[in-house]
Structure 1
Amino acid sequence: MAAHAKVQLPDGRVVRLTEAQVRAINAIRRAGTYHAYDGISRATIRALERLGLITVEWRTAWVETCHGYRGVWKQRPQLEWTARINKGALTR
């Protein structure tokens, strides 16, 4: 795929993907399964999922972080995802 690419969706619409979306599709295609925090933004993943080009599994993980002078450990939620190519959508 080039810098910008036109892709035909399963419903027949033709959409133009941005450079970030093209890079994300290529990275996910190379990896097979792509995980959060490996260089693709959540906004790009959501846009590709909305178009039906990828399948994403979203989940919340609780992570411990250290705050303050005395090292008080607190838990906070963190959104994680796993993305895979929707093979039926990208074969057109």
Structure 2
Amino acid sequence: MARLTKVQLADGRIVGLSPTQVRAVRAIRKAGTYYAYDGISRATVAALERHGLVTVKWSVLTWTARRTYRNRSMCDWVARPVRGA
């Protein structure tokens, strides 16, 4: 099991973040705006959003495949760091 890093948030809460989540927060803060498919998983971004470290705008694109007539979906997101967190 990964060792959790304890982080104190701006509102005083203490949360445990995995090493992957710590790297993701640093990358988002460095970039300012981070897009889907740039190397951070949806699960990691969702966990950071639950903790209040980033704000995420989610969108879902759905289309119908031409030959099979099946619906296909793709989840997009844009993450930005929260000021003061």
Normalising TM by the smaller chain, what interval? 0.7 to 0.9
TM-score by length of 2: 0.80
1:49 has 2:49 as partner: yes
Q: 1:82 aligns with which of 71, 78, 82?
A: 78
Gap regions ≥5 residues in structure 2:
none
The 2-side partners of 1:64 and 1:23 are apart by 36
Instruction: Kindly indicate whether the alpha-carbon contact (under 8 Å) linking 1:7 and 1:16 is maintained by their aligned counterparts in 2.
Output: yes
CA RMSD of aligned residues (A): 2.2
Shift of 1:16: 2.2
Greater relative contact order, per chain length (Cα 8 Å cut-off, separation 6+): 1
Number of the residue aligned with 1:38: 38
Cα gap change, 1:64 to 1:40, in 2 (>3 Å): farther
Name segments (4+ residues, structure 1) moved above 6 Å: none
TM-score by length of 1: 0.74
Q: Which has the larger radius of gyration?
A: 1
